[in-house]
Each structure stands twice: as structure tokens, then as C-alpha cells.
Amino acid sequence: MPRSAELQRLIDGLALFPDWEERYRAIIDLGKRLEPLSDEEHSETNRVRGCVSQVWLVEDEPEQDPVRMHFRADSDSFIVKGLIGILLSMYDGQPPEAIVEMDSMKVFGELGLDRHLSPLRSNGLFSIDREIKKRAAARVA
């Protein structure tokens, strides 16, 4: 499946940082650029289970774009917000079929996330990823 230009720019950009401290800062900066959620969207209904940090995921209504899926998300953790930014660069604006087929583990490996995130952070990242794919699978069905 071809990658979005945004995702490829992100992968290429993070590869420029040889030091993981610098990559973490870049990932945190990515999270700072997320579109904020409203107070109402920070609800229990939108909370993603399986994350140590608080994470809220909102899917825009399909009527706005019946062909592609659009997501917004937030977290109470700066690094998790950055990880959400990575996920959104993978999935936002993609058709549900492409989201279901995306090999996110391969992308996480290319970014080095599989080696540099703590087990708790990895579990949280996988929980958000699973939730997005679950919502995409429901649209495909």
C-alpha cells in the first residue's frame, strides 16, 4: 500500500536525528501541532482503553467524507500526543480499506519505535492503533 506524502516526510524527517533524545523532542513537537479537542470531546465515550495515559480519539462523521476517514485525538502526555501524531499521519484521510491493510508494525519498526519505547508506551500505541483499525473495519463491513 502506498504511503501518504505526510507519512513519508515524517519518516524521512525523524531519520535526520541520529540521537533518540532529539527524536523524542521532534515527536513531542509533532504532538504539539495536533488540532485540539473540545472539552465535550474529552469524554469517556471517546477515551481509548489500554493506555496508561489518558487518550481520546474522535472520528469525524462519515457524511463529511464517505470515502476517507478523518480522526482527531488528544492525550494528557506530551510523548503520547506525539505518537498520536505519527498514527494520524498514517491513517487520517485514508480510505477504511487502506487503514485495515496498513502494516503499522512495519512503520513503527522503520521509525525505531519498536526498540525505543517502553513496554507501557508500546502497549498504549498499539491500543490506539487497534482502535483506529477497528473503526475502519466497521466501515468496510
H or E element at residue 123 = helix 119-140
- C-alpha cell belonging to residue 132: 483506529
Catalytic residue, chosen from 14, 51, 113, 117, is: 51
Q: Is the separation of the CB atoms in 114 and 108 below 8 Å?
A: yes
CA quadruple 120, 27, 114, 91: dihedral positive or negative? Answer: positive
Catalytic status, residue 119 = no
Contacts of 139 (CB under 8 A, 6+ apart): 62, 69, 96
Q: Is the separation of the CB atoms in 70 and 92 below 8 Å?
A: yes
**Known catalytic residues?**
51
